Structure 1
Amino acid sequence: MPAILIVEDEQNLRLLYRRELEEEGYRVIEAANAEDGIRAFEESHPDLVVMDIRMPGMNGLEAMARVLDRDRRVPIVLNTAYDSYRDDFTSWAADAYVTKSSDTSELKRTIRRLLEERTHLGPPEM
């Protein structure tokens, strides 16, 4: 069962994503901020990370860079309500960019696609 780390400061969205992704058969790890997300990544070595960008403290782009320093092959989905980050070159390091919505179908499709692509690449580098 693939593990997905959700780094999201909005509790209601974390709960929604957890419920939706567990129904899809994923194991979900949650973090409420970027610092906790980096710690959770180091402890659990998830198969994919869904990262909010705008969070209190460290933002998701900086957290993404730190995660990628640890494992360059882990797929990262940036998930934000602010479409303007698509033009920020820092966000280009992510594998996908999904605008937040209560309809999780795009997020679930993106996760499924990235995990399928990853299985063709072999085990992650640690």
Structure 2
Amino acid sequence: MTHLGLPVRDVQTSQLFYSTYFEFDPASAQRYEDGTVIIRNASGFDLALHAVASDVGPLPDFLHFGFRRSKPTEVRSLLGRLVSDGVEIIEQFDEPGHVSFKCLDPDGHRVEVYWESPTSV
């Protein structure tokens, strides 16, 4: 997968959120006539933020997307920043072999950040 499109109420607020916490480069922003703004991270993943006139609406509990981190300390560090900044954390695990959390973005989209130990096959 190389991109994800999200409906958002306020493109600037969402762009700031994903740039601040998930390393999307604001300088990469491309704006389109329909109000969509696409921002890119260093891995080349495109996040398309599409402005909607009304509330994003209720989303199913299972619906989420995630960012893998290479070390459990990276997950814990980001979790600490988000908590300090008042971002709502809805789920959290810190076990041997698995560290993760889910938070809500400004529109209620569930975002997971996780690390899992490599499994041998």
TM-score, with length taken from structure 2: 0.31
> When you count helix as a share of all residues, which structure comes out higher?
1
> When you count strand as a share of all residues, which structure comes out higher?
2
TM-score, with length taken from structure 1: 0.31
